[in-house]
Amino acid sequence: MTSLDTPLGKAADRQDERLATPQGIGDAVRAAVRRTRDGDLGMLPVVAGIVVIWTIFQSLNQTFLSSTNLVNLAFEMVPLGVIALGVVCVLLVGQIDLSVGSVSGVSAAATAVVMVKHEQPMALAIAVAIGSGCAIGWLYGQILNRFGVPSFVVTLGGLLAFLGTQLWLLRDQNAINLPYDSPLVKFAQVWFVPEALAYVFAVAAGGGFLAVGWVRARSRRRAGLSSASMPWLGLQAGLLAAALLFTVYYLNRTRGVPWMFMLFVTLVLMVHYVLKKTKFGRSLYAVGGNAEAARRAGINVRAVYTSAFVMCSALAATGGVLAAARLAAANQSTGTADVNLNAIAAAVIGGTSLFGGRGTAFAALLGVLVIQSISSGLTLLNLDSSYRFIITGLVLLVAVALDSAARRSRQAHGRG
Amino acid sequence: MTAPAAPTAPTVLSLRGVSKQFGAVAALTGIDLDVAAGEVVAVVGDNGAGKSTLVKILSGVYTPDGGTISFHGREVSLGTPADAQAIGIATVFQDLALCENLDVKANLFLGQELRPWMLDDVAMETRSWELLRELSARIPTLDVPVAALSGGQRQTVAITRALLGKPEVILLDEPTAALGVAQTAEVLNLIERLRGNGLGVVMISHNMDDVRAVADRVAVLRLGRNNGVFDARTVTSEQVVAAITGAADNVVAQRAARRASAGPRADADPRTDTAPRPDSGPRKEKELP
Ligand SMILES: Nc1ncnc2c1ncn2[C@@H]1O[C@H](COP(=O)(O)OP(=O)(O)OP(=O)(O)O)[C@@H](O)[C@H]1O
Ligand SMILES: [Mg+2]
């Protein structure tokens, strides 16, 4: 690749005189503050929300931030988080899936039926469950593309139909228990990352962040483009590693870091890569931003819709398998009640726009942390689900209001 | 009516009897059009004459109801925009068709990203800057979403995008409508460079100066039908306007006549006859992308 000629010794992308060129850490911080004020909120509101929620619950009940409870939280947030990760994908293309709860319920039931009733191997049961999830997503995509039915109607139909399927699968007994000695249940209840390995992961995350940033900065410099300053990168990587090391240390004081949580983090990172670093991910954002423009750019919009729904339903099914594993059972209420709305709320609270074209995989991680923290805190306070519904509803309302307000502010400040 | 200049170079794109119906409205009826390699064909016509519809048919956005389209003499069917891009037809749409939530470089490479499974952001950004500089684009940074750009900046982005895929034919639907003086001249220069490199260019414009400055032939559409093809070197603006409006005694001619009788200065509309041709101005000789 040829590097561009750079008059004035400025990087190729920093030559317009109207452009403020950040120098050093101070400028980088100031730029971040200005971005936030203009409505490019990113992760900030949800992180602030988590701090507030944790402070409140900790002051009401000293055990909330205890290591034991946080390990529990790390377990509990996974099934819902995996479902929310799928919801992010459909919201990105400007669609919605209201049936993720039912799909996870069917998948939980299917896992139990295949594994326990038909005494088939665990791997087959999981494959059947996730495979049916893919099929459901494909079906949604076809209905949307062929008949142009709005996705909220299609998936509302799916919500009922798959709830029915779940009840039918479990028609003989209300619940099917999974054997406690199956790896699936152990994975969701008692398997932890060995202490030392968990520290290695934490350091590796910081190192990986630094390495990726360094490689990127180097190739940008070689191409004559501006690049992040090394001290700034180092500071970010250091903070990340320190935060993770402390988390690992704190969780290791009791049971440790669940492998199931590591699975969730891995899925988040994978989806993040797909969204940000592949052509396919780009096309999800493009279709959510302006479907007609995406079509004219040669993107197969129908295929993009179908893949988004397949990803969503497959992840919902995976969440269902994990929920069954966590409970060591599939029953008629798995995935019902508030799972649907909680998963959508988690995605939106995490910063995924309901208007399409905006959002990241980390939205699912942070959003579900908010939702599960509320749920766990209220359980510790012995408050029943009525409070949980009300409070989660209010938080969702705040998140959606923030999304709309931020959108207006972005438009006023030219940040799309 | 002047006889159309016989194209010397081989015809790249050829339309015969193309029609398009929108409900009760016949937007296009029996359109014939030829575009040779290294030729700029201007398509002019009043608002609603069907120019954009023609462009959308050629770019695969609409499928025609009748007629044939041939590319290098072979009949093609342009079912989707991807088909048109694949055979080498690139388009700048009148409404630009950009994704406002994506940043400039993502829009430029939309649908043709480098390294699909591990996007090469650095190469894409470098290439974006090269192309934008060539068009003297006034875009300070590529990191902002397109929503943050002015109308002219967006138009520049849309034009730049059309150049990325090494097309053989490029369709420009009012490419200079929102551009400033310098950028308009750059786009006209660009069109001449494209012609010099053997591309066929279809340019739609309401600006007679631009049309006469760069076009080789002028095809007039009127109410969705062909209304004459003129040699741009010999035709007068009056003749084109007459073909566009369908009458020699049209509102444009009446205005010109009124002005002529009012003052000694204007013997014709100054916008159409005395404008300098851009190739008399400063001109950058650059290699094409
Ligand atoms: N999608 C559509 N649905 C229905 N009618 C349409 C559609 N697109 C265009 N038309 C009609 O087709 C005719 C031609 O429209 P077109 O956009 O091609 O005009 P144009 O020559 O590009 O005009 P302008 O100079 O204003 O851009 C108009 O009468 C318009 O109303
Ligand atoms: Mg038009």
Reported confidence tier of residue A242, pLDDT bands at 50, 70, 90:
very high
B15 lines ligand 1 (CB under 6 A): no
Q: Do A292 and B97 touch (CB under 8 A)?
A: yes
* CA B249 to each of CA A64, B1, B46, B238: distance values in angstroms, whole numbers, following the listed order: 86, 16, 16, 10
Q: Kindly report the backbone phi and psi dihedral angles of residue A356, in degrees, each rounded to the nearest multiple of 5, phi listed first.
A: 90, 150
Higher-confidence residue of B67 and A27: namely: B67
HEC string of B69-90 equals: EEECCEEECCCCHHHHHHHCEE
Q: Which residues of B touch A (CB under 8 A)?
A: 59, 61, 80-82, 85, 91, 93, 97-102, 106, 110-113, 116-119, 121-123, 125-126, 129-130, 133, 138-148
What pLDDT sits at residue B267? 44
Q: Note the ligand closest to the C-alpha atom of B56.
A: 1
- With 90 as the cut, is the pLDDT of residue A409 above it? no
Question: A219: closest CA among B126, B61, B80, B78?
Answer: B126
Is the predicted ipTM greater than 0.95, yes or no?
no
Give the pLDDT of residue B112: 92
Note the pLDDT tens digit of each residue in A57-92.
Answer: 999 999 999 999 999 999 999 999 999 999 999 999
Of all residues in chain A, the one with the smallest CA distance to B95 is A293
pLDDT at A14: 77
Q: Output Rg (C-alpha) for chain B, integer angstroms.
A: 19
Tokens of B50: 């069907």
Nearest to B272 by CA among B173, A90, B200, B244: B244
Total Cβ atoms within 10 A of residue B116: 14
CB contact under 8 A, A223 and B139: no
Which residues have C-beta within 8 Å of that of residue A250, sequence separation ≥ 6?
A67, A70
pLDDT at A32: 72
CA-based nearest distance A194→chain B, Å: 33
Sign of the dihedral defined by the CA atoms of residues B77, B78, B83, B84, in that order: positive
pLDDT digits (tens, 9 = 90+) for A289-343: 999 999 999 999 999 999 999 999 999 999 999 999 999 999 888 878 789 989 9
Protein residue whose Cα sits closest to atom 24 of ligand 1: B47
Contact B63 CB / ligand 1 (< 6 Å): no
- Using one digit for the tens of pLDDT, what is the confidence trace for B57-115? 999 999 999 999 999 999 999 999 999 999 999 999 999 999 999 999 999 999 999 99
Query: Taking a C-beta distance cutoff of 8 angstroms, is the pair A352, A359 a contact?
Result: yes
Whose Cα sits closest to atom 19 in ligand 1? Answer: B48
**Cβ within 8 Å, pair A13-B123:** no
pTM over 0.80: yes
Residue A4 has pLDDT above 70, yes or no: no
Domains of chain B, by residue range, sit at: 11-101+166-248
B94 in ligand 1 pocket by Cβ < 6 Å? yes
B7 has a pLDDT exceeding 60: no
Measured in whole angstroms, the distance separating CA B81 from the mean position of its chain's CA atoms is 17
Q: Which of A8-17, A228-237, A300-309, B85-94 has the least mean pLDDT?
A: A8-17
Half-sphere exposure of B107 (CA within 13 A, CB side): 31
Distances from the Cα of B134 to the Cαs of A387, B110, B125, B179, B281, in angstroms?
62, 20, 14, 15, 17
Copy the structure tokens of residue A286: 């493009």
Cβ pair A296:B91 closer than 8 A: yes
Q: Are B40 and B195 in contact (CB under 8 A)?
A: yes
Q: How far apart are CA B124 and CA A355, in angstroms?
A: 28
A302: which residues sit within 8 A by CB, 6+ positions away? A141, A145
Nearest residue by C-alpha to atom 16 in ligand 1: B50
Output the pLDDT for position B268. Answer: 42
pLDDT of residue A194: 97
> Could B125 and A277 be called an inter-chain contact, meaning their C-beta atoms sit closer than 8 Å?
no
Of A219, A223, A293, the CB nearest to B97: A293
C-alpha to C-alpha distance for A6 and A223, rounded to whole angstroms: 11
Ligand 1 pocket check for B27: Cβ under 6 Å: yes
Q: In chain A, what percentage of residues exceed pLDDT 90?
A: 72
Closest-CA distance of chain A to residue B144, Å? 6
For position B289, what pLDDT does the model report?
A: 41
Q: Are A346 and A86 in contact (CB under 8 A)?
A: no
**CATH T-level fold of A61-191+258-416:** ABC transporter involved in vitamin B12 uptake, BtuC (1.10.3470)
Number of H helices, E strands in chain B: 10, 10
SS3 A108: helix
Token pair in block for residue B51: 């120019």
Q: Are B208 and B237 contacting, i.e. CB atoms less than 8 angstroms apart?
A: yes
Distance CA A68, CA B37 (A): 74
Strands (E), B49-165: 66-71, 74-76, 89-92
Amino acid at A267: L
Q: Which residue of B lies nearest to A17 if distances are taken between CA atoms?
A: B140
Residue B279 pLDDT: 41
Share of chain A above pLDDT 70, in %: 94
SS3 B68: strand
Q: Is B29 in the pocket of ligand 1 (CB under 6 A)?
A: no
B155 lines ligand 1 (CB under 6 A): no
A26: tokens are 């101070």
Residue with tokens 């700029």: B40
Tens digits of residue pLDDT in A254-272: 999 999 999 999 999 999 9
Phi-psi region of B12 (alpha: psi -120 to 50; beta: other; left: phi over 0): alpha
* Minimal C-alpha gap between B124 and chain A (Å): 11
- pLDDT value at residue B259: 82
Evaluate: CB of B57 within 6 angstroms of ligand 1: no
CA distance B40 to B56: 18
The predicted-structure confidence for A377-397, as pLDDT tens digits, reads as follows 999 998 878 888 888 888 888
Q: How many CB pairs under 8 A join A and B?
A: 124
- Residues of chain B with Cβ-Cβ distance to A19 below 8 Å are 140-141
Q: Cα separation of B33 and B19, whole Å?
A: 12
* Contact between residue A160 and residue A96 where contact means Cβ atoms under 8 Å apart: no
* B119 with A1: Cβ contact below 8 A: no
Whose tokens are 């150049």? That residue is B163
Residue nearest to atom 26 of ligand 1 (CA): B47
- Token pair listed for A231: 């001290």
Question: What is the rounded CA–CA span in Å between residue A340 and residue A403?
Answer: 20
Those residues whose C-beta lies under 8 Å from the C-beta of residue A363, and which sit 6 or more positions away, are: A46, A84, A88, A346, A347, A349, A350, A351, A352
- List of residues 6+ apart from B93 with CB closer than 8 A: A296, B52, B55, B56, B59, B158, B173
Give the residue on A whose Cα is nearest the Cα of B139. Answer: A16
> Over the stretch B206-263, which tens digit does the pLDDT of each residue have?
999 899 999 999 999 999 999 999 999 898 888 899 999 887 677 777 787 788 787 6
Strand B217-222, strand B39-45: pairing: parallel
pLDDT tens for B187-198 read 899 899 999 989
Across the interface, do B102 and A286 touch by the CB < 8 Å criterion? Answer: yes
Question: Residue A396: its pLDDT value, please?
Answer: 80
Q: Check B125 against A296: CB less than 8 A apart.
A: no
Distance from CA of A98 to the nearest CA of B (A): 25
Give the nearest ligand 1 atom to B54 CA: 18
Task: Find tokens 């390699």 and name the residue.
Answer: B37
B24 lines ligand 1 (CB under 6 A): no
Residue B1 pLDDT > 50: no
Superfamily of domain B11-101+166-248: P-loop containing nucleotide triphosphate hydrolases (3.40.50.300)
- Chain A interface with B: residues with Cβ < 8 Å: 1-4, 12-14, 16, 18-19, 216, 219-220, 223-225, 277-280, 282-283, 285-286, 288-290, 292-300, 357-358, 410-411, 414-416
Which residues in chain A are contacts of B148 at CB distance < 8 A? 414-416
Ligand 1 within 6 A of CB of B204: no
Quick check: B129 and A295 CB within 8 A? no
In whole angstroms, what is the distance from residue A320 CA to residue A83 CA?
8
Domain boundaries, chain A: 61-191+258-416, 192-257
Q: Which residue, chain included where needed, has tokens 């400028």?
A: A27
C-beta atoms of A357 and B139 within 8 A: no
User: Which token pair is A241?
Assistant: 């590693």
| Amino acid in position A60 | L
Per the CB < 8 A criterion, the answer to whether B129 and B142 are in contact is: yes
pLDDT tens digit string along A164-179?
A: 999 999 998 889 999 9
Q: What is the pLDDT of residue A57?
A: 94
Predicted confidence (pLDDT) per residue in A52-64, tens digit: 999 999 999 999 9
> How high is the mean pLDDT of chain A?
90
